[in-house]
């Protein structure tokens, strides 16, 4: 596609429910990243996929968070048993290669846990 697509754009969920966030990267981009941005804050790294290599999960804040990517295409970020502190904008980005290329970000999913 022309850009990075994320869905849904907004999600309101009840505390304790599970949510799935989806990211469609730019076609041909081998690297895909998930970041979290709380209101008025910076970008917090969550997880990174590069081709068929094992993902870098070092930023996932707890075992309630997990992510998958099918080949070099769609990725889903799953948050189980959501908590109020999970409320944030979840941004996905892709880049043509792991290094030396800028990221293209999607518009994000705004998650609100009530």
Query: Hey, which residues between 51 and 110 contact other proteins (CB under 8 A)?
Result: 56, 91, 95, 97-108
Residue 12 in contact with other proteins, rule: CB under 8 A:
no
- Shorter beta-carbon distance to other proteins: residue 33 or 65: 33
Residue from 35, 67, 69, 75 binding other proteins (CB under 8 A): 35
Give residue 30's region: left, alpha or beta (phi > 0; psi -120 to 50): alpha
**Contact status: 31 vs other proteins (CB under 8 A):** yes
Q: Radius of gyration (Cα) for the chain, nearest Å?
A: 13
User: What gap in Å lies between CA 83 and CA 80, rounded to an integer?
Assistant: 9
90 beta partners:
36, 109
- Residue ranges binding other proteins (CB under 8 A): 31, 33, 35, 41-45, 48, 50, 56, 91, 95, 97-108
């Amino acid at each position: 596609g022309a850009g990075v697509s994320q869905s849904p754009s907004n999600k309101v969920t009840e505390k304790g429910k599970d949510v799935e966030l989806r990211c469609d990267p730019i076609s041909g981009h081998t690297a895909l990243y998930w970041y979290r941005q709380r209101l008025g804050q910076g970008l917090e790294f969550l997880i990174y996929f590069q081709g068929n290599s094992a993902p870098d999960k070092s930023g996932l804040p707890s075992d309630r968070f997990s992510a998958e990517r099918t080949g070099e295409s769609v990725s889903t970020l799953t948050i189980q048993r959501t908590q109020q502190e999970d409320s944030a904008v979840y941004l996905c980005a892709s880049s043509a290669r792991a290094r030396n290329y800028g990221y293209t970000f999607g518009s994000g999913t705004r998650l609100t846990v009530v």
